[in-house]
């Protein structure tokens, strides 16, 4: 039970004490100290009732208003700064613990046990926790003169490949399923025209599958971090120039629309090859092949968009092949190089 209003107690106490002057309080204190323990108290019940009342009064003075007793010389402050010491008269303990009201909004100040550690986020419990964030994971090899291209030209080609990968798999507008303007601008003009013309085609001729684009209304990105792990390699290209091979895992956390607590991960194992060469004295960077395997996505959509699978969703078309570890780029290569776009996974 919460204690009574302290102001109300003070008011009632002041009214009680006001009935006595200081000399009367001293006499009652002395009488209580003598009579309360006198053998004659057994023969004087009426006097005992009075004395008991005095003892209770004195106890209230000690507990509620020790400043009054200080003025009377009954209580003196302790020398060590601790509790006051009563040096004369009987002391009556206040029954029960002294409860202090808890101001509204301060309950959280009390220790209720260990504070839980912050959540590790949507990548908790997966190898993706150790992956780089976004573009930081798109690490390019050192540029070098190869295939008749200068070191500077190879460097420019690698930079263009890095930007293309970022625009295709990390650009927020592209990931949300919007028109992939950033990616299209980076393509060679001839390839850009073909890409945009077939962007909305269904089936294998559609170019939306070159990107990671969530199907409208199917899912929403969680946060602004996509985890990335992989590598890019260089090789001399037949006929001149270089072949740039990109092999990466992109781990996308997504939630069900309107249900932000229902979170899943889609692991995209992407492998593509770019050709870099000179044409009419100018450097050309061309996307030669593009393949992706999706883990944690539905397999029965053929519109080029990504349809994540959430717990409780209907099974739909089943993934293909023996289950593989989606975080193992080596074992998952069969699902990228000409294999199914929707292979079976051990878990995402």
pLDDT digits (tens, 9 = 90+) for 108-118: 322 333 333 33
State residue 328's pLDDT score.
87
**Where does 190-281 show beta strands of DSSP type E?**
220-221, 227-236, 242-256, 259-279
How confident is residue 30, by pLDDT bands cut at 50, 70 and 90? low
User: Judging by beta carbons within 10 Å of its beta carbon (0-12, 13-18, 19+), is residue 333 exposed, middle or buried?
Assistant: middle
Q: What are the tokens at 289?
A: 């092949």
| Nearest residue to 302 via CA among 208, 187, 197 | 208
Q: Which residues are CB-contacts of 223 (< 8 A; sequence separation ≥ 6)?
A: 121, 122, 253
- Residues 234 and 246: beta-carbon distance below 8 Å: no
State residue 280's pLDDT score.
93
How confident is residue 261, by pLDDT bands cut at 50, 70 and 90? confident
pLDDT at 18 over 90: no
Task: Give a three-class secondary structure readout of 36-65.
Answer: CCCHHHHHCHHHHHHHHHHHHHHHHHHHHC
State residue 205's pLDDT score.
87
Between 101 and 219, where is the model more confident?
A: 219
pLDDT at 106 over 80: no
In angstroms, the CA 345 to CA 322 distance is 8
pLDDT at 272 over 60: yes
pTM (2 decimals)? 0.64
Q: What is the tens place of the pLDDT at every residue in 197-223?
A: 999 998 888 999 999 999 999 999 999
Dihedral angle at the C-alpha atoms of 183, 188, 194, 200, nearest 10 degrees?
Answer: 0
Dihedral angle at the C-alpha atoms of 174, 178, 181, 187, nearest 10 degrees?
Answer: 50
| Nearest residue to 92 via CA among 42, 21, 29, 39 | 29
For 144, other C-beta atoms within 10 Å of its C-beta total 12
State residue 178's pLDDT score.
96
Task: Give the start-to-end residue ranges of the domains of the chain.
Answer: 6-107, 132-345
DSSP 166-207: HHHHT-HHHHTTS--HHHHHHS-HHHHHHHHHTTT--GGG-S
Strands 132-133, 227-236: parallel, antiparallel or unpaired by DSSP? antiparallel
Q: Which residues are CB-contacts of 192 (< 8 A; sequence separation ≥ 6)?
A: 184, 185
Q: What is the tens place of the pLDDT at every residue in 222-259?
A: 999 999 999 999 999 999 999 999 999 999 999 999 88
State residue 330's pLDDT score.
79
């Amino acid at each position: 039970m919460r204690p009574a209003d302290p102001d109300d107690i003070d008011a009632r106490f002041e009214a009680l004490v006001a009935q006595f002057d200081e000399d009367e309080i001293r006499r009652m204190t002395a009488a209580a100290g003598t009579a309360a323990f006198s053998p004659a108290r057994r023969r004087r019940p009426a006097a005992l009732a009075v004395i008991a009342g005095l003892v209770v009064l004195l106890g209230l003075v000690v507990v509620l208003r020790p400043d009054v007793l200080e003025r009377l010389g009954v209580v003196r402050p302790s020398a060590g700064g601790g509790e006051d010491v009563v040096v004369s008269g009987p002391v009556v303990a206040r029954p029960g613990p002294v409860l202090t009201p808890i101001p509204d909004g301060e309950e959280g100040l009390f220790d209720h046990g260990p504070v839980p550690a912050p959540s590790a986020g949507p990548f908790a419990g997966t190898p993706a926790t150790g992956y780089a964030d976004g573009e930081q994971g798109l690490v390019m090899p050192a540029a070098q003169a190869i295939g008749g291209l200068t070191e500077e030209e190879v460097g420019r080609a690698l930079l263009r490949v890095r930007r293309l990968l970022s625009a295709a798999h990390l650009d927020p507008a592209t990931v949300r399923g919007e028109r992939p303007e950033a990616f299209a601008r980076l393509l060679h003009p001839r390839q850009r025209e073909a890409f945009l013309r077939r962007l909305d085609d269904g089936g294998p001729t559609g170019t939306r599958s070159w990107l990671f684009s969530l199907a409208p209304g199917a899912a929403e990105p969680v946060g602004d971090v996509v985890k990335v792990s992989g590598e890019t390699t260089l090789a001399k290209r037949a006929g001149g120039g270089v072949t740039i091979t990109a092999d990466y895992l992109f781990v996308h956390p997504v939630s069900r629309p309107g249900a932000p607590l229902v979170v899943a991960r889609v692991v995209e194992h992407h492998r593509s090859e770019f050709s870099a060469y000179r044409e009419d004295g100018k450097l050309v960077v061309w996307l030669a092949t593009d393949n992706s395997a999706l883990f944690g996505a539905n397999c029965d959509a053929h519109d080029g968009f990504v349809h994540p699978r959430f717990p409780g969703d209907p099974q739909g078309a089943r993934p293909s092949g023996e289950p593989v570890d989606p975080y193992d780029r080596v074992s998952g290569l069969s699902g990228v190089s000409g294999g199914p776009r929707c292979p079976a996974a051990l878990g995402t």
